[in-house]
Every structure is written in C-alpha cells, then in structure tokens.
Amino acid sequence: DVKVTQSSRYLVKRTGEKVFLECVQDMDHENMFWYRQDPGLGLRLIYFSYDVKMKEKGDIPEGYSVSREKKERFSLILESASTNQTSMYLCASRPTTGKGNSPLHFGNGTRLTVT
Amino acid sequence: GDSVTQMEGPVTLSEEAFLTINCTYTATGYPSLFWYVQYPGEGLQLLLKATKADDKGSNKGFEATYRKETTSFHLEKGSVQVSDSAVYFCALSGENSGYSTLTFGKGTMLLVSP
C-alpha cells in the first residue's frame, strides 16, 4: 500500500513564525501536492510538484512556498504565519500515467493553528 | 474548465437506510471519476473509481456507475451503518492529465444514527 506520511498531526504556531510542514511518500511517485481544507470551502490546491526541484502554483499560493529536493519529500513553508492560515493541510502523491486514471493518495493531514 | 458538483449535506439517515449521494461533472473527453471518503480527523481515502463510460466502481458495499450520457457518478449503498458517517468527495481526473491534480467537489457529510 502507498504510504504518505505527514510529520505532524497537530501544530500550534505564533503569528510571524516560519512554519515547515513535511510530507514523505514511499512509492516513488513523481507528483506531489499540498492542499488546505476549510469548512464550506472544500479542498483548495496550494502548490504541486511533478518532479524534483519543480513546482507549480495551485489556486491559492499566496503566503506559501514549497521545496522538493528529493523525490520522496515535499515540504510546505509558511514564510510568516498568519491567523488566516489556520487550517487542515493535506499532502498527496500520485504516479504519472498517460491516461490520468491514477488516484491521489493522501496523508492523514496536519491541523495547524496560528495564534 | 473541469468541475464537479455534488449535493450539499449533511445527509442524515438511520442505520440500514439506502444511501444516494449525487455527483455530476463537467469535463471534455473521457475523464476518470473517483469517490473519496474522509473520516473525522483523518485524510482522504480512495473509496472507488471508474475510468470509462458504463464502468461500475465498488468497494465496502458502496457502488457508483460512470454515466457519460448524464455526466454523473452517483454514490449508492444499500444499507448504511453508523461507521459510514464521514464526508464523501467526488472527484475527476481529466483525460490525459496524468501528472496534474484532481478536480474535487465540495464534499457531502453523511451522518448515520443507530
């Protein structure tokens, strides 16, 4: 089974702190994704990466950056945390296939609270 | 662009009732379709999928049939249990978009009472 592991289940940070959310997958997937999930807004894509050192902006990249130095690891960085970044963050991975029929595999999420 | 519309919740049922959660989509060509389930405090898990028209995906008593003519992928279960209480997401992957993200609906919460 594919395993996507997010380093923290719960995180509490102060406004202005630099925050790192880490995600590791063990199935050699090319593509990795970061989402945030908020009540009433569903899942929103922040950034994704289709290869090492490659990144693409999603729908809501403002206030975030990412890093992918190794294929298995994809980090989300909040340069200066703000209270409106309090949310559930979900990491996912997916292999590249020609027909788009492979599913996303999700981690268990990190619930971040910024005070 | 691609989009997924699913019924708003919460859907409230008694144990052993029949479940339908509606999902319709807009996409060009022949997308792949997925249902995910999210239990409280957890990430999303793949429940079932269908990759071509008239395919039926099934898992854990849940079923959904890919209907190209009505652009729908409704989720059904004949007899729900309390343990099925969760949020259900319908999603699609565009044809030939194997490296990009899925398009998700906003989710439907299911609450099953004993």
Q: Is A76 exposed, middle or buried (0-12, 13-18, 19+ CB in 10 A)?
A: buried
**Alpha carbon of residue B68 to chain centroid:** 15
Residues A5, A25: Cα–Cα separation, whole Å: 6
Q: What chain A residue is nearest to B42 in terms of C-alpha separation?
A: A108
Q: What is the pLDDT of residue A109?
A: 95
Q: What is the pLDDT of residue A98?
A: 66
Q: Which of residues 78-97 of B touch A (CB under 8 A)?
A: 89, 91, 93-97
Q: What is the pLDDT of residue B41?
A: 86
Q: Is B104 exposed, middle or buried (0-12, 13-18, 19+ CB in 10 A)?
A: buried
Residues A34-77 pLDDT 10s: 999 998 888 999 999 999 999 999 999 999 999 999 999 999 99
- Distance from the Cα of A108 to chain B's closest Cα (Å) equals 4
Residue A78 confidence (pLDDT) above 60: yes
Q: Which of A38, A61, A55 is nearest to A109 (CA)?
A: A38
Q: What is the pLDDT of residue B66?
A: 97
Q: What is the pLDDT of residue B28?
A: 84
Average pLDDT of adjacent 10-residue blocks, chain B of 114 residues: 90 97 92 94 94 94 97 97 97 73 92 96
Residues A24, A110: Cα–Cα separation, whole Å: 13
Residues A6-34 pLDDT 10s: 999 999 999 999 999 999 999 999 999 99
Beta-strand pair B75-77/B19-21: antiparallel
Q: What is the pLDDT of residue B92?
A: 92
